[in-house]
Structure 1
Amino acid sequence: MSCGMSMVKYILFIFNLLCSICGILLIVFGALLFSKVHNSDDVGDALRSQQVSLTMIILGTIILLISWFGCCGAIRESYCMSMTYSILLFVLMIGQLALVIYMWVQKEKYLEIMGDVVEKAWDNRTRRSDYLDAIQINMKCCGRNGYTDYSYQGRLPPSCCTDTNICRVETAYKRGCKVTFVEFWDRNCDIIKYAGLVIAAIEFVGFVFACCLANSIRNYRRRAEY
């Protein structure tokens, strides 16, 4: 194998080793966070912690799986593992680009979906109020369209106020959760899109390097057979 390909091999190995460590740390921290969910007295904190912890575990597992193929393929000079790593990285990159493009060309529809999240949380508040409580606490909002949505029950839920012990109209959040939630995602859409493009570009470089390494390994073994 040439000097250039040897350098690519070790660059890929070190890069994927670091990614594997990050994946393991995500899984560990996600599991620790998940184990503490039921110890939280605050409904919003508990729900937020559960969602974050599951996301961390799933993301860490995906990163660890892909990085494992990359590490093994590079250090063992395995054509099969290197190509598997390339394919997985390519699929991940395409899926990520598809999501970015969807957010780019279907921004209004995406924001409409975010609005429907609040609508469903409001409609299901009598069966399960923790989703709506989490939105109200995190977004500092009250009700679907405003705090007056709770006028039918004569009192405001604790999640509508900073002071959860005593929640009055005077201290309640005045903005509705639907418009607040949609505006939050509208402000952060561009950050998500450009961050996704940068990560996809890094993944593309890794994909090209992995393909070059796999091709070099195959050619080296063919020459060794003669």
Structure 2
Amino acid sequence: MSCGISMVKYILFLFNLLCSICGVLLIVFGAMLFSNVHSLDDIKEAVQTQQVPITMIVLGAVILLISFFGCCGAIRESYCMSMTYSILLFVLMVGQLALVTYMWLQKDRYLVIMGDVVERAWERRTRKADYMDALQLSMECCGKNGYEDYSFQGYFPRSCCKDPNACRIETVYRRGCKATFVDFWDKNSDIIKYAGLVIAAIEFVGFIFACCLANNIRNYRRRRDY
């Protein structure tokens, strides 16, 4: 193979090696967040209430699978694996562009979906630490619509308070999580969309590199057979 194609091969290998490490980390962190499952009822409850760890595990598995084909196809100079990697990367890129386009054209609908996320977290909250607590801690908010949502329960979760060690009405966050969460996505939607386009551009470059490598591998083997 030429020097340029050999460079492309090792660039693809290193790039996919880093992606595979990211995929493994996502799976590990998702598994760490996932509650212990001891029965079928536990599985059903986990699927209903723990979408974030499940999403992390699935996303990590997809990244790991695609990266596996990329690494093996590059280092083993396998035409079949390189083309499989190209196809998977192209499908991922198209799906990502479709999501960015949806966010661009259906921003209002997208914000409604983000509000529904908080609605589901609120409906499935427990006295134990859950995703409502995670929202309240990260967004500095309290309750679905405001801190008054907890008034009938006679207590405020520590995640609602500016000072968890002294959780009183004076230290409770006033704003509700639904409005705060929707505003966050509204303000950062442009950043997410442009970041998605940049990542899609990187994936497109990887797709071109993988196609060039696969085509060169095929031509090299044809010349070698003659």
Q: TM-score, normalised by structure 1?
A: 0.79
Q: 2: distance between equivalents of 1:83 and 1:53? A: 31
Secondary structure, aligned partner of 2:169: coil
Kindly indicate whether the alpha-carbon contact (under 8 Å) linking 1:78 and 1:214 is maintained by their aligned counterparts in 2.
yes
Structure 1 residue 73: Cα displacement:
1.3
Match of residue 144 from structure 2: 144
Partner of 1:71: 71
- The aligned counterpart of 1:112 is 112
| Closer, same or farther: CA 149–97 of 1 in aligned 2, 3 Å | same
Counterpart amino acid of 2:19?
C
Moved more, 123-132 or 202-211: 123-132
Distance 1:27 1:125 in 2: 24
Deviates more, 1:79-88 or 1:97-106: 97-106
Task: Give the distance between the partners of 2:114 and 2:7, measured in 1 at CA.
Answer: 46
Q: 1:106-159: per-residue Cα shift (whole Å, max 9, x none)?
A: 111111111122223334447988333332232221222222233434443433
TM-aligned CA distance change 1:124 to 1:51, over 3 Å: closer
Deviation, structure 1 residue 211: 0.7
Gaps of 5+ in 1: 39-49
2:68 & 2:121 partners in 1: Cα distance? 39
Aligned to 2:183: 183
Kindly provide the amino acid, as one letter, of the partner of residue 210 in structure 1: A
Q: Residue 111 and residue 128 in structure 1: after superposition, are their counterparts in 2 closer, same or farther (change >3 A)?
A: farther
- Contact 1:121/1:129, CA 8 A, preserved across alignment: no
- Kept in 2, the 8 Å contact 1:74–1:82? The answer is yes
Contact 1:27 1:57 in 2 (8 A): yes
Partners of 1:28 and 1:150 lie apart in 2 by 34
| % identity of equivalent residues | 77
How far apart are the structure 1 equivalents of 2:155 and 2:176? 16
Q: What is the match of residue 47 of structure 1?
A: none
- Does the 8 Å CA contact 1:20/1:63 hold for their aligned counterparts? yes
Judged with a 3 Å threshold, the aligned counterparts in structure 2 of structure 1 residues 186 and 155 are, in CA distance, closer, same or farther, namely same
CA distance in 2, matches of 1:156, 1:57: 32
Q: Would you say how many aligned residue pairs link Structure 1 and Structure 2?
A: 213
SS in 2 for 1:142: coil
- TM-score normalised to the size of structure 2? 0.79
Partner of 1:215: 215
Q: CA RMSD in A?
A: 2.9
Measure the CA separation in 2 of the matches of 1:21 and 1:219. 32
Q: In 2 relative to 1, CA 101–4 (structure 1 residues): closer, same or farther, beyond 3 Å?
A: same
The letter for the 1-side match of 2:193 is K
Could you say what secondary structure the match of 2:73 adopts? Answer: helix
Q: Secondary structure at the match of 1:141?
A: coil
Amino acid at match of 2:141: C
Matching residue's letter, 1:183 = D
Structure 1: how far apart are the matches of 2:142 and 2:29?
Answer: 32
Worse overlay, 199-208 or 152-161: 152-161
1:123 and 1:64 mapped to 2: Cα distance? Answer: 34
In structure 2, what is the equivalent of residue 173 of structure 1?
Answer: 173
The DSSP-based 3-state class of the residue aligned with 1:170 is helix
Aligned mates of 1:140, 1:217 — CA distance in 2: 54
Q: Indicate conservation of the 8 Å contact 1:34/1:54, yes or no.
A: no
